[in-house]
Amino acid sequence: MIKITFLITVFNEVKTVRKAINDIINLDFPEKEIIIIDNGSSDGSQEIIKEFKNIKTILRTKNLGYGSTVIEGLNLAKGKYIYIHNSDLEYDFTKSIEMMNVADTNNLDIVLGSRLKNKKNIIKNLKSNPAFLATYVTTFLINILYKKKFTDIIGSKFYKVEKLKNIKVDFYHEGFDFGFISRVCKEKYNIDEIAVDYTPRENFYEKKIKWYHMFAALYAIFRVKFFN
C-alpha cells in the first residue's frame, strides 16, 4: 500500500535537485512513491533528473506554472496522501511523517507546515526575513475571511489525494497557493497546521517568488471569496 506520494517539484534548481531527490529516496518510509515534475528547467536540472531510474518523471519543455505541477501530481498520485517536496530544500521533508500521523489521527484533508507557529515575535521575524511580510498579510486575510487561526498559509503542504484532486483551480502561477487555500477554506475542508523547520536559501535573489507577486496573491484570495 502506498501511503504517501512525494511530489518533487523542480524549476531551475540545479544546485539542490540531486539532494532533494536523494533525500526522499533515502527516507526511511517504505510505503511511498516518488513523482518528479520539472517545469521546463533550462539550467541543467533535467539532466540530473534523468540520472534517476525507476522514478516516474515528467520533464516539461516550458513552464506551465507551479499550480499545474501540483494538480498534475495530485492526478497521478497513487498514495492516500501527497507531500509537496519543493527542490529548493527550504523545508524539512522529514516532517511529512508527522503530517501524515496528524492527518490520520484527526481525519484531516490538509496539513499545513508552518514556519511561524512557534515564533510569536513578529517584529523579530520580519527583521530576520522581510519576505515574511507577505506571509503575515495573506495569512491574516485568510483568517479574517474564513474565521481561521492559521499562522502560515505559504509553508509546506500535505494533502489527502482523493479529497483534493477535484478542487476547482483558477490560478496556476503566482496566485496558485493563495487561490487554492481560499478554495478549500470556502468549501470547508478539514485543515490544521504543525510547526516545521525552515531554512531559507542563502541567496535571497534566487527565490522564485518576488515581492510583486503579492498582487497576484491578493487577487486570488479576493476573487475566490467574492466572485467565484
Return the pLDDT at 130: 77
pLDDT for position 80? 98
The per-residue pLDDT for 18 is 98
Q: Which position has the higher pLDDT, 159 or 209?
A: 159
Q: 31-40, 55-64, 120-129 — which is least confidently predicted?
A: 120-129
Interval 99-106 mean pLDDT: 98
Domain boundary assignment for the chain: 4-227
Query: Taking residues 75-93, what's their average pLDDT?
Result: 96
How much is the mean pLDDT over the chain? 92
pLDDT-derived band at 67 (thresholds 50, 70, 90) equals very high
What CATH architecture does domain 4-227 belong to?
Alpha-Beta Complex (3.90)
SS in 3 state form for the chain?
CCCEEEEEEECCCCCCHHHHHHHHHCCCCCCEEEEEEECCCCCCHHHHHCCCCCCEEEECCCCCCHHHHHHHHHHHCCCCEEEEEECCCCECCCHHHHHHHHHHHHCCCEEEEECCCCCCCHHHHHHHCCCHHHHHHHHHHHHHHHCCCCCCCCCEEEEEHHHHCCCCCCCCCCCHHHHHHHHHHHCCCCEEEEECCECCCCCHHHCCCCHHHHHHHHHHHHHHHHHC
Q: Residue 180 pLDDT > 90, yes or no? A: yes
Residue 212 confidence (pLDDT): 67
Q: What is the pLDDT of residue 165?
A: 86
**Structure confidence by residue, pLDDT tens digits, 207-221:** 656 666 788 999 999
